[in-house]
Structure 1
Amino acid sequence: MWLKFGVNEEGILICIEDINRGKTLLKCPYCDGGLTAKKGKVKEHHFAHNDQTCRPIANREFPTLPLYDNFNVQLSGKDLAQLKLLWKEYGVKNYPISSYLVTPGLIKGGMLRKNLYITPREYEFSDLGKIPVGVLEFRQFNDVQEPLLLKKLLKLELAFKHAEYKNAPDLGYRLTDLKLYRAQLQRILSSRLYFLEIETNIGIIYKIGVTTRPVIKRVAEVKIDLLAYCSSAAIKVLGTWEHRGNVELYFKHRYQGFNYPIGSLTEYYKFNTEDAKIVLSDLQQMQQKILSLDEINILEENTSLIQVAV
C-alpha cells in the first residue's frame, strides 16, 4: 500500500497522478509533513515523506479501494501459486477440484466453493477466486467489487462516528481515513473508461484508459504520443463507459498477456481480429453504472481536509 494523495495549501486532496515527480508543496494528510512524488518505472507511483514517515503510513493503516490496484485478494504467495495451478489444471477445463488439492487459505479467502450438484461434493472456482487469475468477465467483476467498495465506505464511516462519540485520540486519523477513501471513490466514479482501436504503420493496436475530460481531447493527446514512435496513427473510439474508472486496472490485469508497450507508452495492446471482438464484447456486456445516493454525494463533494485536526 502506498500513499497516493497529498494536501495542497487550500486543503484539497491531490492525487499522485496529477502532479510531476520530485519534491512538492503538498503535505501528508495525516501528519502535515512535506512530501516528494515518487514516479519511477518500477514501483507504483506514490508520495514519500521528506523526513521520517508518520505512523499511519508506516503501519499501512490508510485505506485503499478493494480490488482496484491489487487483485491477489490478500492471498499468501503459496496460496496464490496453488490457485493459479488449479485454474490451469482444472478451472480452465471446468473440471471439479478434489478436496485434497484445496488449501485452507483458499477456502478462508472465498476463492473456491463446493459444487453442491456433484457427489462427493468437490470444489469449483468462485467469482472472487477468478479475479487473481484474471478470468472473471468485467460485468461480473463489477458485481463483485461494487458491494465491497460500499461496504468498506460504511465501515470507515462507522469507525469515524464511533471515534467521534468516544472523543478518541485517533479521531483525526479516522476522519482522514474516511476522506482519503472518499477521494479515491470520487476519482474512479468521475472517470470515463475508453477503448480505442488505432491503425498505425506497425499494425493495428488497442488502448485502454480513463479520463475525466471529453474523450476527443484525450484521443488528440494519444495521437501526439504515438506519432513520436509511429509515422501514422488513425484512431477509432470503440466504446466509452461512464463512471467506470474502477475497471481500467483490472483490464490491464486480465489482458496482461496481450500488453504491447511502445517505447515508454505502456497502455497499449495487440489483439488479433477475433480476440479484439471478444475483448470489446467483454466491455460492452458491462451494465450501465447507476449511481447510488452515497456515490452521487461523493461525486459532488469537495474533498477538502482543511477541517481535519491531525
Structure 2
Amino acid sequence: MFLTHGMNESGELVSVADVKSGHTNLHCPFCSEKLIARKGAIKEHHFAHAGETCMESKSTIQQTGLPFYDIATGIGKSDIKLLDKFQRYDNVWLSQKQAETAMYLTQGGLLEPSPNKPEKYQLTRLGRDLVKHHDSLLQKKIILPEATLQEQLFPARLAMLQYHDEMNGTQAARFYQLRLQALLNQHLYVLKIHLQQGSTCFPLIKVGITSRSELALRISEIKRDLQQHGEVLSIEIAGLYRHFGSLERLIHKRFRASQFVIGSHTEYFHAIETAHDLSLLNLEALGKRTVEGAYCRTTYREHAHKVRVGQRKAKLLNNTHLGRPAKNAENLLTDHPDIVEAFHASLSLRKANTKTGKAINTVRKVYAALKESGNT
C-alpha cells in the first residue's frame, strides 16, 4: 500500500486521483512534509514525500488499510488465520501476540466470549461470514455479498483501530476515518468505449471512480487521455453508482484477465470478454448508499425481493393479499382485447408479447384465462 491521500490547508484529505502528477500543495498528514504525486505507468498512483519518508506514515498506512480496497482479504491474513483456527477447534492455545489479536478482533465484533466458557472465544456472525468468504473456492459472480461484507467491516475495522490507539497512544483511527470518508465520497462508474487504433476498433469497458457528481467533465478528461493512443469513436455511460467507489478494486480484480492496458492506464477491459461478467455482477442490486462522514447506510437493496417475501408472509399468516388487486378472468379479457386477438390469431406467447407490447406474464395470464373459459 502507498500514501494515497494528502492533507490540504483546510485539513481535508485529497486523493491522488484529484491532482496532477508532480509537486503539490499538499502535506503529509503525519509529518507535514510536502508531497509529490507519483502517477507513473507501473506502480499504483500515490504520494511521495519531498524529503525523507516519515516512519509514522509507513506504519499507519499498514494499519489503516480499508477492507476489500487496500486489503484484498478484508482484514489481515494473520487475523483470518486466527479466526479460522477458532472456527475449526474448540480448545485453542494462544500465544501472547495471538491473545492480543483476539482482543482486537473482539473489539471489532468478529469474536465474542463463549457463553459456556467466558475465557474462550467463538466467532460472531460477521466473523463466520468473513471466514466463509475467504474459504470459498467458487468465485461468486454477483458483487452484492462482498459489498455487504465490506460495509460491515468498515466500522469493525474502525473499532479495532480505536482500541489500538487507546492501548498505544496512536492516531490510526483518525486517519482511517479520513481515508474512509474520502473513499465513500467516490462514485463508481462504468463506461462503454470504442477506441480506434490503426485499422482496429477496440470495444472497451472502463471501471473507475470519481468524486464528481456528474460525469461530463470526467468523460472529457478520459477522451483527452485516450486520444493520445487512438481515435475515440464513442463513450457511453453504462452505469453510475453513487458512493460505491469502494467496490472499484473488487471489480478490477474480477476483470483482471481481460485487462486492456493503455499507456499508464490499467482500468480498461475488453468489452466482449467482460460484458457477460459485468451483467452477472448485478450492480443495479446495490441499492442506494447514503454517507455521513465515515459512516454509510444502504437502502433499497434487494427491495423487490423483500417486498415479495413480505407479501407471501402476509398471505400465509393473515390470508391477506398485499399489492395490486388481483384481476379475475373477465376483467383480464376486457382490459386486454389486443392479447385476446393475438390468442385467436394463434400467436405464441413471445409473438403476442412482441405484437402487443404487453409484459409476457400479462400475456400468459390472458391466454390461461381464455383456455379456462373454453376459448380456442
TM-score if structure 2 supplies the norm length?
0.56
Report the Cα distance in structure 2 between the residues aligned to 1:33 and 1:203, rounded to whole angstroms. Answer: 43
Task: Choose the corresponding residue for 2:292, options 293, 296, 310.
Answer: 296
Consecutive unaligned residues of structure 2, counting only runs of 5 or more, are 89-130, 297-376
Report the Cα distance in structure 1 between the residues aligned to 2:51 and 2:221, rounded to whole angstroms. Answer: 37
Report the Cα distance in structure 1 between the residues aligned to 2:76 and 2:264, rounded to whole angstroms. Answer: 30
SS at match of 2:286: coil
Q: For 1:18-40, what per-residue CA distance to the aligned partner results, in whole angstroms no more than 9, with x for missing partners?
A: 22333434322222233333333
**1:62 Cα deviation from its structure 2 partner:** 4.6
SS at match of 1:40: coil
| One-letter amino acid matched to 1:144 | L
Q: Is the 8 A contact 1:5 1:180 kept in 2?
A: no
Q: Is the 8 A contact 1:194 1:210 kept in 2?
A: yes
SS at match of 1:17: helix
**1:288 Cα deviation from its structure 2 partner:** 0.9
Q: Is the 8 A contact 1:194 1:240 kept in 2?
A: yes
Larger Rg: 2
Distance 1:205 1:42, change over 3 A: closer
Distance 1:205 1:59, change over 3 A: closer
**1:237 Cα deviation from its structure 2 partner:** 1.5
SS at match of 1:44: coil
Q: For 1:218-247, what per-residue CA distance to the aligned partner results, in whole angstroms no more than 9, with x for missing partners?
A: 223323333332334212222221110011
Find the counterpart in structure 2 of residue 216 from structure 1: 216
Task: Choose the corresponding residue for 2:187, options 188, 192, 204.
Answer: 192
Find the counterpart in structure 1 of residue 134 from structure 2: 128
SS at match of 1:243: coil
Report the Cα distance in structure 1 between the residues aligned to 2:263 and 2:51, rounded to whole angstroms. Answer: 35
1:260-279 to 2 correspondence within 5 Å? 260-272=260-272, 275-279=274-278
The percent of aligned pairs where both chains have the same amino acid is 28
Q: Does residue 153 of the first structure (1) align with residue 152 of the second (2)?
A: no
Distance 1:248 1:22, change over 3 A: same
| One-letter amino acid matched to 1:147 | Q
Q: Is the 8 A contact 2:204 2:271 kept in 1?
A: yes
Distance 1:234 1:17, change over 3 A: closer
| One-letter amino acid matched to 2:155 | L
Count, aligned residues? 247
Find the counterpart in structure 2 of residue 2 from structure 1: 2
**1:206 Cα deviation from its structure 2 partner:** 1.1
Find the counterpart in structure 1 of residue 233 from structure 2: 233
* Cα RMSD, aligned residues only: 3.4
Report the Cα distance in structure 2 between the residues aligned to 1:23 and 1:223, rounded to whole angstroms. Answer: 25
Q: Is the 8 A contact 2:42 2:264 kept in 1?
A: no
Find the counterpart in structure 2 of residue 39 from structure 1: 39
Find the counterpart in structure 2 of residue 287 from structure 1: 286
**1:8 Cα deviation from its structure 2 partner:** 2.6
Find the counterpart in structure 1 of residue 315 from structure 2: none
Find the counterpart in structure 2 of residue 137 from structure 1: 142
Q: Looking at both structures, which has the greater relative contact order when contacts are Cα pairs under 8 Å and sequence separation is at least 6?
A: 1
**1:195 Cα deviation from its structure 2 partner:** 1.1
